Every structure is written in structure tokens, then in C-alpha cells.
Amino acid sequence: MLRYIVRRLLGSIPTLLIIIAMTFFMMRLAPGGPFDQERRLPPEIEKNIKAAYDLDKPLLRQFLDIDPEVCSIRFGATATPEWLQKRGLTQTPEGKFFDGSGREARCLGGYLGKLLQGDFGPSFKYKDFTVAELIADGAPVSLRLGSTAIILATIIGMLLGTFAALRQNRWPDYSTMTLAMLGITIPSFVMAPILTLILGVYLGWLPVAGWEDGAFRNMILPVIGLALPQIAVISRLTRGGMIEVLRSNYVRTARAKGLPERLVITRHALRSALLPLVSYLGPATAGIVTGSLVMEQIYGLPGIGRYFINGALQRDYTLVMGVVILYATLVIMLNLVADVIYGVLDPKVRYD
């Protein structure tokens, strides 16, 4: 199992690099730019701004810029005064090199070079913050909101799916699946305003916006809005898996031995019925944790979704890239976790 996990982690590196490259070039090639305004900036100011963010370089060098001379110094060569003067650089006590405009000369430059050194870069629009600081500010809100929603959806969805499967082709089954279909077909951006209007405006039971450090009352509406579509999908997956397992020979054998129905369901049937659900929950969890863009906009929550939408609209390249990298990493890691859990639940699965 450990060898399999290591192989998967190593194999995910090229996937992540491809995602980073595709997102980078798609963002740069899209019309408009981060400093395009209705009022044109003076040419010298625009030139200085682009130079400060490396936007004056060719596109490939914006992505990855390797400086062999600086690299040789990083790996043991000496930075002589003549070399510094020739390059127009100054060296700090920490060993960093800066040119006359204050731009750092790196061994690995460009976006990918900085990223490999743990630097997500500055935000183009939130000028007093780096991308890492913005993500660290919004991630706890999105993680708490999304994890609460997916846990709630998993519990309720499994209960409803099992309830429907045990009463197949009867009114509890039909009514549960009808509600599930409604939950799938009605988008969250439609359901959320309806819930807000009824529970928040007309009845006044719940606040319609705000976070207030994650107060329980403020979480109810966005969590319900996020969880409802997932409850519908999970209940259908659980029902389908449970119906198939209940018809299997080993379940018939367990019943023939006289085991109570409760033990047949919980100890034998439910474990195998969860296999399709496990495969779904990996990407679904990543999507609901980082993709609650609509809910965060509707309820004014300070999560990652707010930064992602504002960054995309304002061409804040580095901010959008940071959120995409976070999302891609979560998808890769949660898919790996799902595969490991799948192997634990199904003894027939072996990872060599």
C-alpha cells in the first residue's frame, strides 16, 4: 500500500505541472490584463508597473526564466565585484541579487520558478497582500463551510438511500427518489435564494448574510444550500449500491443463517454498497470545499470563492493561479484517499 501511495504521489507531479501550465497560458492569452483601465495610464508608469510584475518579459520567460549565471553562483561559484557590476546587480547579506529597479535576479525565475521555491507571488489587485496570505485568510472559511456540508450530506444521503433501497418499489422509495431528482435538477443558485427568502426574510429565523466568525446561525443557510444537491446524489448512489448488494448471494446466506436484519444491513450489505459512493466523494469533497463560489457570493462569506471570482474578473493572474493550484492539489489528494479507502472496504482490491 505504501509503495502505491508513493507512486501515486510521484505520478501526480506531472499532472499538477500540466494544470499549472495550461492555466497560466490560458489566463495570459485571455483578452484584457490586470492593469487595463478605462483611463489609460501614462506609458512610463505602465512600463514600470509591468516591469515590477515581470509582465514586460516574453510569455515563456514569464512562465519559467532560468538564469545560468545566478544558478552557478547558487551552486558554489563566487559572485565577484566585476560580475556584479557587469550585470548591474547588488548582493544582500542573505545572498540575494537585485537590479537597479529592485527586481530580484533568481536562478529560477518566472511564475513556475518562484512557485517551486514556495512563492505564489503578490496579488495584482490586493496590493498589500501576497496570494499565500489571501488564501490563508479565505481557506479556513471555505474549509469549514465545505467540510460541514459534505459531512451532513453524506450522513443524510446514506440514510435516505438505505431507507429507499429497503423499501424498493414502494411509496417511501418513490417519494425519496423524487425528492432526490428535484435536488439534482434545481441548481444551488436557485435553491439558496428561495431558502433565504423563506427562512431569512419572511420568517426571520436566520440571518441572510455575514459570517461572524463562523457563528452557528450564520452557517445554517449556506451549509444547507451546499448540502442539498450532494444529499440528492449520495442518496441515489447509496440506493443503487444497496439494491445490488441486497440481491447478492452472501447477503442471502447471512439471512439464511438467521442473523438479525440490522446486522445484515450494517455489517454485510452497507460496506459493499459504499464502494460507488467512495469513488464519488473524493472529487465531490474537493469541489464543495473550494467550489462554494455561489454560496459565498450570495451570503457574503469571506472564503476563497470571493477571491477567485474577483481575481478572474479583474485578471488577477497570480490569485487565480493560487486558487486553481489549491483546488487541483485537493482533487489529487482526495482521489488518492478515496482509492485507499476503496481498498480497505473491498478486500478483493489489491494495490501492488
pLDDT at residue 38, rounded to an integer: 52
pLDDT at 242 over 80: yes
Nine cell digits for residue 120: 505564489
- Distance CA(315)–CA(146), nearest Å, equals 26
In this structure, the chain runs to a length of 352
- Distance CA(100)–CA(77), nearest Å, equals 23
276 neighbors 338 (Cβ within 8 angstroms):
no
Q: What is the CATH number of domain 131-345?
A: 1.10.3720.10
* 105-130 mean pLDDT: 83
DSSP-based three-state secondary structure for 93? coil
How many other C-beta atoms can be found within 10 angstroms of the C-beta atom of residue 332? Answer: 21
pLDDT at residue 40, rounded to an integer: 67
Per-residue pLDDT band for 39 (boundaries 50, 70, 90) equals low
- Distance CA(234)–CA(241), nearest Å, equals 11
pLDDT at residue 18, rounded to an integer: 92
pLDDT at residue 182, rounded to an integer: 83
The pLDDT tens digits of the residues spanning 198-237 come to 888 888 888 887 777 778 888 888 888 888 888 888 888 8
DSSP-based three-state secondary structure for 118? coil
pTM given for the model: 0.79
How many other C-beta atoms can be found within 10 angstroms of the C-beta atom of residue 98? Answer: 14
* 6-18 mean pLDDT: 87
327 neighbors 253 (Cβ within 8 angstroms):
no
**41 or 308: whose pLDDT is higher?**
308
- Distance CA(211)–CA(193), nearest Å, equals 17
How many other C-beta atoms can be found within 10 angstroms of the C-beta atom of residue 213? Answer: 6
pLDDT at 352 over 60: no
**194 or 40: whose pLDDT is higher?**
194
pLDDT at 95 over 80: no
pLDDT at 350 over 80: no
What Cα–Cα distance (Å) separates residue 44 from each residue in 33, 35, 41, 104, 219? 17, 13, 8, 21, 48
Pairing of strands 97-98, 104-105: antiparallel
pLDDT at 348 over 70: no
**148 or 101: whose pLDDT is higher?**
148
pLDDT at 83 over 80: no
- Distance CA(211)–CA(224), nearest Å, equals 15
pLDDT at residue 314, rounded to an integer: 79
The pLDDT tens digits of the residues spanning 289-329 come to 765 777 887 888 888 877 788 788 778 888 888 888 888 88
Percent of the chain exceeding pLDDT 90 equals 2
The pLDDT tens digits of the residues spanning 167-200 come to 888 888 888 888 888 888 887 778 888 888 888 8
- Distance CA(344)–CA(341), nearest Å, equals 5
Percent of the chain exceeding pLDDT 70 equals 94
The pLDDT tens digits of the residues spanning 119-145 come to 888 888 887 788 888 888 888 888 888
Estimate the crossing angle of helix 304-313 against helix 317-345, to 10 degrees. 140
